[in-house]
Amino acid sequence: MPPPMHPLAGTLSVLVCDSCDAVLDPAAKMTASKKHADSDPSDLAPHYESKPELTIIATRLGWRQNGERWSCPDCITRR
């Protein structure tokens, strides 16, 4: 399984839910329109941010971290 934060050039990352493959949209739309596996680089480009900033945004939007694993709000609700 790939890591939940996928790096881009070492400074930027995209955050992906480990349960459903949803991509965090830092523009506060909760998740991107496509799942990570269905996305190409141009789909993912707007969702990259620094790891510390992604962590702050994800926490504010209801994503939860358990160790290295991340869950989106939808997956948290389904539990």
Number of H helices, E strands in the chain: 3, 6
And the tokens for 38?
A: 């269905």
Residue 3 pLDDT exceeds 50 = no
- pLDDT tens digits for range 51-67: 999 999 999 999 999 99
Q: What does pTM read for this prediction? A: 0.82
Distance from C-alpha of 79 to C-alpha of 74, rounded to nearest angstrom = 9
Contacts of 62 (CB under 8 A, 6+ apart): 30, 72, 73, 76
At residue 78, the pLDDT reads: 87
Contacts of range 34-40, beta carbons closer than 8 Å, 24 or more positions apart: 36/6
Predicted confidence (pLDDT) at residue 6 exceeds the cutoff of 60: no
Per-residue model confidence as pLDDT tens digits over 19-63: 999 999 998 788 999 999 999 888 888 999 999 999 999 999 999
